[in-house]
Structure 1
Amino acid sequence: MSNEVDRYNASRRQSQEFQWLDLKQLEQALLNGEVAFGPVDVVAPQVMKSAAMKAAREAFEDGLVMMFIDGEAVRNLDETLDLKLGSQVLYIKLSPQRGI
């Protein structure tokens, strides 16, 4: 997780994935009669490792995320995990459904 946060923070300035309009840009675009995404001056915020790790742990504990290692569900994040070369790790993000 720590490596992923580092990778995100290092690439956030070059990334075109996170583009949005701030309130002033949105208001001006509405006055112009067209809202479109183009080059923006807003840089995606830096992610703090401690906050990201806390959010990930809470999501796991709340049942919003499941993790499997070699087909076996991880039940406790504090247990030692046996990873081997070639182990498959699967993360599943769950979302509640309404009106089924």
Structure 2
Amino acid sequence: MVTLMTVCLMIAEGPIGIVHAIVTFYYDYAFIADTRDRLDQILMDLIVLNAIVSCIICLSVNSQYRDVVRKTFCGRCRKKNNEIGIARSRGISVSSVPRVTASNAAIA
């Protein structure tokens, strides 16, 4: 996975680095400056596409990455709704404000 993502990164960001290096040495030529402006747009689109593809590659290959994405985006909604639903059906009062005890320890 790391090798695949490294190759994709080199393909996406390598050409823009080469173009900027050439422009640094030959900036006085109007043709080079005009060509650079056109290539910048195309190469920046390639970098954005690489970022999207990298996320998809990580989701498809790495199970730890998938688990973290599930916990981050899906786990919070389900867990809160289930806890509140269970508490209401049992007649338990639910509060999200921490309670302070005599020992000054916050209890959630």
What is the TM-score of this pair, normalised by structure 2? 0.24
Q: Which has the larger radius of gyration?
A: 2
Structure with higher strand content: 1
Structure with higher helix content: 2
Q: Which of 1 and 2 has higher RCO (CA within 8 Å, sep 6+)? A: 1
What is the TM-score of this pair, normalised by structure 1? 0.25
